Chain A
């Protein structure tokens, strides 16, 4: 059953020859993923609280850390790989991420533009919000 012609089910650890060259056991895969996720989470909380970093850059740093941790979860917990038995899963994921990107970035972009173009001034805006 090693070289099935089918794509692997999402969430299943690959049993193909190329994947078995990795020396990690199944237990090791989850453990490495867990340790990496803990490190990334700890760094996120540190970045949000430290005053050592340039404040306006912190938000972007947090986003990068979250993307990295999402990658760790996908690879080590959901076992998404670039292997040839995983093409369908990766393509579905890529399409999902495209839609997520369009919805989030598109909304923020348009709404920021609207705020800049339509609001008379920040002071009036604040008054309006308060009353």
Chain B
């Protein structure tokens, strides 16, 4: 690794094509690998979305989306996740600028917004189940709980990851390994917001009209 970095630095004057420049720095390799993982995760979600779209009308005489979905709740969830994506970006900028206090502050805001999003989702699930709209009720509800719940699980994992990263910043500081993980976390969090865009569009907004 160090040899490669030295060789890479030596070639800075005459810019070699990537094929001749030796292995790419670890930061680029790690982030690209994580990018490929995220894309495969999105492919998994596309299968869940396809299942939902096919089964959305198979309500088996049970409650439909138009009866169950609360648009105000969805709008607040959307706002929470979108703002948390923005504060996550602010956190990335604070990390690049090595501003410890701003990093903690924006991470805290991101965490609280993510937790608020999860609270609303759990609340929604609980009230649906209380009304008899359980995953067992119809194919529509099975697909709904699977695709929305899978996104919720990802958000939960993201919150745990964020807490762990803040502990690492506190105890390890901004060393390269922590930096790489923070970059991957930011990618993960922004990707979750992209999936939520499709959730509120394809599941909720189309559901209330159907």
B197: A residues at CB distance < 8 A:
41, 66, 69-70, 73
Chain A residue with Cβ nearest B198: A66
Among B12-20, B109-117, B126-134, B169-177, the stretch that binds chain A is B12-20
Asked if A88 CB lies within 8 Å of chain B CBs, one says: yes
The 6 residue pairs across chains A and B that have the minimum distance between CB atoms: A96-B39, A9-B31, A107-B50, A48-B205, A10-B35, A30-B89
If A9-B28, A30-B90, A73-B197 touch, does A59 touch B190 (CB 8 Å cutoff)? Answer: no
> For residues 75 through 131 of chain A, which have their beta carbon under 8 Å from a beta carbon of chain B?
77-78, 88-89, 92-93, 95-96, 99-100, 103-104, 106-108, 111, 129-131
B186: A residues at CB distance < 8 A:
11
Chain B residue with Cβ nearest A49: B71
Chain A residue with Cβ nearest B23: A6
Q: Could you pull out 9 A-B pairs where Cβ atoms are within 8 angstroms?
A: A5-B11, A6-B18, A10-B32, A44-B205, A47-B205, A93-B39, A96-B42, A103-B47, A108-B53
Q: Give the contacting residue for B35; candidates A38, A73, A89; CB below 8 A.
A: A89
Asked if B160 CB lies within 8 Å of chain A CBs, one says: no
Per-position 1/0 for B183-203, Cβ under 8 A of A:
110110011011001101110
Most buried by B among A7, A49, A55, A77: A77
How far does the Cβ of B189 sit from chain A's closest Cβ, in whole Å?
Answer: 9
Q: How many A-B residue pairs have CB under 8 A?
A: 151
Asked if B150 CB lies within 8 Å of chain A CBs, one says: no
Q: Give the contacting residue for B39; candidates A12, A95, A111; CB below 8 A.
A: A95
Place the interface of chain A in its size category: 35 or more
Query: Contact: B31 with A77, CB < 8 Å?
Result: no
A33: B residues at CB distance < 8 A:
86, 89
Place the interface of chain B in its size category: 35 or more
If A73-B193, A130-B60 touch, does A5 touch B17 (CB 8 Å cutoff)? Answer: yes
C-alpha gap A3/B18 in the complex (Å) = 11
> For residues 78 through 118 of chain B, which have their beta carbon under 8 Å from a beta carbon of chain A?
78, 82-83, 85-86, 89-90, 92-93, 96
Per-position 1/0 for A1-42, Cβ under 8 A of B:
101011111111000000000000011001101100110010
How far does the Cβ of A95 sit from chain B's closest Cβ, in whole Å?
Answer: 7
C-alpha gap A60/B24 in the complex (Å) = 42
A77: B residues at CB distance < 8 A:
85, 89, 190, 193
C-alpha gap A70/B197 in the complex (Å) = 7
If A26-B93, A45-B75, A100-B43 touch, does A12 touch B31 (CB 8 Å cutoff)? Answer: yes
Query: Contact: A12 with B183, CB < 8 Å?
Result: yes
